[in-house]
Amino acid sequence: MSSTFALSREHEEFRHVVRDFAEKVIAPHADQWDRDHHFPVDVVGQMGELGLFGLTAPEEYGGAGGDFTSLCVAIEELGRVDQSMGITLEAGVGLGINPILTYGTAAQKERWLPDLVAGRSLAGFGLTEPDAGSDAGATKTRAQLQGQEWVVNGAKQFITNSGSKISSLVTVTARTGTRADGRPEISAIMLPTGTPGFVAEKAYDKLGWHASDTHPLTFTDCRVPFDHLLGERGRGYAQFLATLDDGRVAIAALAVGCIQACLDHSLAYARERQTFGGSIGRKQGVAFQIADLEVMVRAARMLTYQAAAMKDAGAPVPVFKQAAAVAKLYATESAVTATRIATQVFGGYGFMEEYPVARLYRDAKILEIGEGTSEVQRLLIARGLGLPVE
């Protein structure tokens, strides 16, 4: 294991607990889940029993009251054996639990958090639409207030944890009016999955993350009480942007797990694979590529846990936002490169689905897209440096 950034003894002990769970419970089945596009609800429950969904939640809701760094450690270790289970945890906490924890009322927290924290249910967050995502002004989903009810109509896409049999809630951004300057007022509305008119369409046939739950959603006259507004009216998009800062670091942790897996598999294969009377690891062309993987995982891990430490220390928002963007950009782009290197090390076998590097290769690309594309990260970093870039 490469060195980590300022992790305590407790964090490292926790890492071993999650690694043991991942290797015994998830790793033996990851390839089959991937082939079958199977979302293992029972394993999500076991992750809940281990306390993974409640790492950052207060004890009053069944959580551990722990720090953000611990969540990143858990995501990294799950992602090392299965990126699908890593993103299930990342989205379940970062996009499902955290918005409620941060912006919810006492009643909303008491209603939703216990089951979410225990892994008995999952929640998602619906921002992206066919023509809207980063461009919040293009949001077409609408929530009209009729009496004491919100009536929601519209559609969302690429929504994680939104259509499984334990999905209980999706918080969606929607137009709830027009501001004085003519811009749309965007608010966050909590929609229970059983709401009439709420439809999780057929799961996507994705390039990777086959064992994660991802659906397009449609809403037709979905009626929910007024108290299903999450946070302040008109602040839905701003709330989600703040949520994304944490999510970027968590995605970076998922990418670190991917790079570590590439290094682990490539190193083992280079020692075992024999050609021309010796292991391929004796050849500089192979050895140097594996050395590059070691550099990538060390750098990505340090950037990721440095940002996580800033979050836990309560660093100023602009400082943390910059660190989060840097970590996300470097770690995810390195993960894509790492899977290409690992596939090359395996040669023709790397192109075969029976080898884990093929799954890693497919899984990695989305890391550069989800929770803010690489282009968005570069934009944020440039602005953080004081450049007036548009």
Q: pLDDT digit string (tens) for 197-216? A: 999 999 999 999 999 999 99
Catalytically annotated residues = 371
The alpha carbon of 115 is separated from its chain's Cα centroid by a whole number of angstroms, namely 20
Look at residue 307 in the predicted model and tell me its pLDDT: 97
Look at residue 6 in the predicted model and tell me its pLDDT: 65
Residues contacting 296, CB < 8 A, separation 6+ = 259, 334, 337, 338
Look at residue 35 in the predicted model and tell me its pLDDT: 97
- Could you give the 3-state DSSP secondary structure of residue 124? strand
3-state SS, one letter per residue, for 127-154: CCECCECCCHHHCCCEEEEECCEEEEEE
- For residue 159, give the H/E element and its range: strand 149-160
Alpha carbons 57 and 97: distance in angstroms, whole number: 8
Classify strands 167-178 and 122-126 as parallel, antiparallel or unpaired.
Answer: parallel
The alpha helices in 38-154, defined as continuous H runs, are 41-49, 68-81, 83-91, 98-103, 106-118
Determine the CATH number of domain 124-233: 2.40.110.10
The alpha carbon of 58 is separated from its chain's Cα centroid by a whole number of angstroms, namely 21
Question: Hey, which CATH number is domain 237-384, 1.20.140.10, 3.90.79.10, 1.20.810.10, 3.30.830.10?
Answer: 1.20.140.10
User: How many CB atoms are located within 10 Å of the residue 207 CB?
Assistant: 12
CB 90 within 8 A of CB 84: no
pLDDT at 138 over 80: yes
> 256: which 2 tokens?
């670190």
> 159: which 2 tokens?
């929504």
- Superfamily name and number for 9-122: Acyl-CoA dehydrogenase/oxidase, N-terminal domain (1.10.540.10)
Residue ranges per domain, the chain? 9-122, 124-233, 237-384
DSSP conformation class of 232: S
Residues contacting 383, CB < 8 A, separation 6+ = 389
Look at residue 140 in the predicted model and tell me its pLDDT: 95
Look at residue 132 in the predicted model and tell me its pLDDT: 83
CB 244 within 8 A of CB 371: yes
Of 66-80, 212-226, 272-286, the range with the lowest mean pLDDT is: 272-286
Confidence of residue 134 (pLDDT cuts 50, 70, 90): confident
Calculate what percentage of the chain has a pLDDT beyond 90: 92
- For residue 293, give the H/E element and its range: helix 284-313
- Among 2-16, 96-110, 233-247, the range with the most confident prediction by mean pLDDT is 96-110
Between CA 38 and CA 246, with CA 254 as vertex, the angle to 5 degrees is 115
What is the reported pTM? 0.96
Confidence of residue 127 (pLDDT cuts 50, 70, 90): very high
Q: pLDDT digit string (tens) for 225-238? A: 999 999 999 999 89
> 59: which 2 tokens?
């004890």
Classify strands 229-230 and 214-225 as parallel, antiparallel or unpaired.
Answer: unpaired
| Cα torsion through 70, 8, 315, 116, rounded to 10 | 10
